[in-house]
Structure 1
Amino acid sequence: MAYITSHPVVSELILGAIRRLDDEIRFPGTSIIEIKKQRLMAIIKANGFLKDLAVEQAIRTTPRHLFVPDEFIEQAYEDRPLPTKSLQTISQPSVVAKMTELLDVKNNNKILEIGCGSGWQSAILSRLTGAKIYSIERLPEIVEFAKKNHQKAGIQNVEIIQGDGTLGFAEQAPFDRIMITAACKSIPSPLLEQLNGGGILVAPVGDCYFQDMVVIQKTSDGIKEIRHEPGFIFAPLIGKYGF
């Protein structure tokens, strides 16, 4: 599970956006899914969590309903986490937008994701880089679920590997970008070692209940924290260097 504990809702902007989008239902040729998707994007943007146009386009072109179980398709475009498999969840879209922007992906960045979940986050990242993305997931049933979702969505540049994400993926290191999608007590040392010079790592850091979103960069002077934002809740990272 990953969601934001609180955020500044710009109510008038949201209500206005929703009213405009609801009006569009009256016009033929616009699917209900597209209306729901536009409404979700309007809410995320009104809350200030989506400012990068490339990230916005990546999310728009990666249909969330392809990454949730059939019984939750109707709720796919709500701004909340949803259950998937094995007590796991697909993250709240606002959190996905926030983390994707913080990762600051450039074309041809090689990316490592820790925790593939439904595969939606890595699918979005795949729209932002021409390089290979590697995603490590410890649960075999989640690996299969994410792979099937990627097939449905036509995602081809993501490789999902079953294993202990806290160990990283040394065979393909170093990585230009690393995203950890579960709560860390501290950043696992193997991941810091596998981060390329100038590379960026984004992770929720804290205890099992509340975390701060931390952005670090590896510089010639060592590891530098460049951003720190409170107010997130993620499931704990499990593994040798996790909880």
Structure 2
Amino acid sequence: MTAFQRQSPEARGQGMTSQRARDRLADRLVAEGIRDRRVIDVMRQMPRHLFVEEALATRAYEDSALPIGHGQTISQPWVVARMTEALLEFGVPRRVLEIGTGSGFQAAVLSALVGQVFTVERIEELLRNARRRFRKLGIDTIRSKHDDGRLGWPEEAPFDAIVLTAAGTELETALLDQLAPDGVMVAPVGAFGRQQLVRIRPDSNGVRMREILCPVSFVPLLGGTL
């Protein structure tokens, strides 16, 4: 029995939110190219149905993005898995900054795999809901802040890894400045309809290189707070 399953019947789910539904999703992720067993195991265990509205819970283990309000979405499970896998490929980061808490699902997945997650969300209501979910699941390695995500969390920098869950047309200099010299950043970049998932990491000489991983579709990275 997993740690998440032990917590409550609500987390364990039933029917379309049961462990069998999670297993099917995990198998689909493997079939679609996710290779990191650590990531697959967490995706198999994480109760995604607790990160969406109750009316959408039966769709939680579809491999699709779902609305969470305020024009935002919980990312497609494959995208969450691919971004997480890309962060872990060259080592497990100790401190990770996430820009765009949203439902809290990406942060929760990361929290099971890295030392500590720092997450920033510009929409206060979404952040309150995410914090409630973290408490319900007993996750205590996530720190969160209501702020403009484009600014990052400079007082806690540098970070071993940074992940963005919204797309800018270019990478934000303020965020790159908060990345440790040997750190990794994974972010969607580009205008809507032409976005690519990009990874920034140092080469053997310590020079940051930019890799294009795959095409994606994310909500835009906006400034300010709500």
What do you get for the CA RMSD once the two structures are aligned? 1.7
Q: Which residue, 112, 120, 128 being the options, matches 2:97? A: 112
- TM-score, normalized by length of structure 1? 0.81
Q: Is 2:182–2:206's contact at 8 Å kept on the other side of the alignment? A: no
Residue 46 in structure 1 maps to residue 31 in structure 2: yes
The AA in structure 1 aligned to 2:121 is E
CA distance in 2, matches of 1:119, 1:229: 23
* SS of residue paired to 1:155: coil
1:71-82 aligned at under 5 Å gives the runs 71-82=55-66
Q: Deviations over 1:192-229 (max 9, x none)?
A: 1100011000001111232111101146644211x213
Aligned to 1:184: 168
What percentage of residue pairs aligned between the two structures are identical?
39
**CA distance in 1: counterparts of 2:206 and 2:183, whole angstroms:** 13
The number of aligned residues is 208
Q: Answer 1 or 2: higher relative contact order, Cα 8 Å, separation at least 6.
A: 1
Divergent runs of 4+, >6 A? none
Query: Does residue 158 of the first structure (1) align with residue 131 of the second (2)?
Result: no
Equivalences for 1:1-243 in 2 at 5 Å? 32=15, 33-48=18-33, 50-104=34-88, 106-107=91-92, 109-129=94-114, 131-218=115-202, 221-225=206-210, 227-239=211-223
Q: Secondary structure at the match of 1:84?
A: strand
* Structure 1 unaligned residues grouped into runs of 5+: 1-29
| CA distances 1:160-198 after superposition (whole Å, capped 9, x unpaired) | 101111111101000000001111111100111100011
Per-residue deviation at 1:107?
4.3
Q: For the structure 1 residues 149 and 96, does the alpha-carbon distance in structure 2 shift closer, same or farther, using more than 3 Å as the test?
A: same
Q: TM-score, with normalisation over the residues of structure 2?
A: 0.87
Structure 2: 5+ residue runs without aligned partners? 1-12
